Amino acid sequence: MNVIISTSELASDLAGGNAPVLLDVRWQLSTAKAAGEPPFDGRAEYAAAHIPGAVFVDLDADLASPAGPGGRHPLPDLGHFGSVMRAAGVSADRPVVVYDGGQGWAAARAWWLLRWTGHPSVRVLDGGLAAWAGELESGEVTPAAEGTFVPEPNSVDLLDADAAAALARSGLLLDARAAERYRGDVEPIDRVGGHIPGAVSAPTTENVAADGRFRPADELAARFTSLGASSTAPVGVYCGSGVSGAHEVLALAVAGIPAALYVGSWSQWSSDPARPVATGPDPQ
């Protein structure tokens, strides 16, 4: 199935008889702010204006557990995640479309979680709210009826630290962070800079065009093939905390390449002094 949807396709689906469940997952990475600058408030942004019918989902509260040994955005409690999805109207027999402000990272995290837990039809709005030219509404949306979705995770799409380390040697492990963080030139968030030994630098920002939409599938396939993807070797992705990495998994899916996600990512890996760290431009 398609994993992304255009704004024109979404507008047509919303006008049709089987409109998808719409999830608004606006979020920004929390880094050091200038004194007095208010933090980003995704719920307030949603309440001010969103695509009609969309329900807000909080990435930090609903798509992750509190930061800790598992990283900055570890997997959410599945009971809580399922409850939030049902409250948003999600059922397995109804398609879901997820969007964010335009970067696509948060929407991809929701897409990945729903796919990993068994939902058969989830797509991300290509370009996000920034690409939407249709009507907007304000206020909160309460679905007319709760959904029935029950999360049933699989073991194929998820990597832990040991599996990521092994995949870097036996297959292809992509690092979706900025190249300077991969090299260890800078590290604004985590304990130490660098990368998992054997991982290949593949910044997720290079998967999209200037307007935030994904590059064509053939261009993405060529990019990932040039980085070492093949039909025989398994592919995995990590990032800082399992958010931008989900966006790279989505880009790989657009290209027709299945990939697993190391959710703990660098925030978990680098917090353990026993884990090896490579620096510089070369994987090793």
Q: What pTM does this model have?
A: 0.95
Q: How confident is the model at residue 18 (pLDDT cuts 50, 70, 90)?
A: confident
Please report the pLDDT score of residue 32 as a whole number. Answer: 44
Full DSSP string of the chain = --SEE-HHHHHHHHHSSSPPEEEE----------TTPPPP-HHHHHHHSB-TT-EE--HHHHSSPPSBTTBSSPPPPHHHHHHHHHHTT--TTS-EEEE-SSS-HHHHHHHHHHHHTT-S-EEEETTGGGG--S--B-S----SS---------SSSEE-HHHHHHHHHHSEEEE-S-HHHHHTS--SSSSS--B-TT-EE--GGGGB-TTSPBPPHHHHHHHHHHTT--SSS-EEEE-SSSSHHHHHHHHHHHTT---EEESSHHHHHTT-TTS--B-SSS--
Interval 94-113 mean pLDDT: 96
Please report the pLDDT score of residue 1 as a whole number. Answer: 53
> Does the pLDDT of residue 17 top 80, yes or no?
no
Would you please indicate which residues are annotated as catalytic (active-site) residues?
239
**pLDDT tens readout for residues 228-266:** 999 889 999 999 999 999 999 999 999 999 999 999 999
